[in-house]
Amino acid sequence: MDISKVEQFATPLLRAGITVLFLWFGLSQLTSPSDWVAWVPPWTENFGLSATVVVLLNGLFETVLGALLAIGFYTRLAAFLLALHLLLVAYEIGYNDIGVRDFALAIATLSLAFFKSDQYTIDTKLSKENTPASNSTSIS
């Protein structure tokens, strides 16, 4: 197998997998917040919000940014914010199987922030439309 033929799918595949992760967790929190309140750290009480509201806000954050990843709009910013968020989650959970898994997922998400946008994103489409070559006619 010629790796050069499949490597073009590496970033979109990573983005798709990370998208599924955040959309699943985000939508799950929005539809069943009571299933998630046990995971809310006690320090969030300092903000005067109930655990259910924290779960709903977290679910909204993950769903909106996961949707941005899905369509590839502000891909790098969304990936960066989701990576920071997941690093905080991993820190809060601590050194155990779930915390280590979340840390690894955070690093995978962070890698999306370092890659250029793949060919299937709105970001790439917009950048091609805004290049000087596409905005002017060439006279030969």
Query: For the packed helices 10-31 and 75-93, what is the interaxial angle rounded to 10 degrees?
Result: 60
* Token reading at 121: 């994103």
Vertex 69 angle, CA 66 and 73, to 5°: 125
- pLDDT tens across 5-27, in order? 899 999 999 999 999 999 999 99
* Token reading at 86: 């997941």
How does residue 79 score in pLDDT terms, banded at 50, 70 and 90?
Answer: very high
Instruction: Work out the average pLDDT over 29-44.
Output: 96
**pLDDT at residue 138 above 50?**
no
- pLDDT tens across 98-137, in order? 999 999 999 999 999 999 999 999 999 999 888 775 554 4
Rounded Cα–Cα distance for residues 28 and 43 (Å): 23
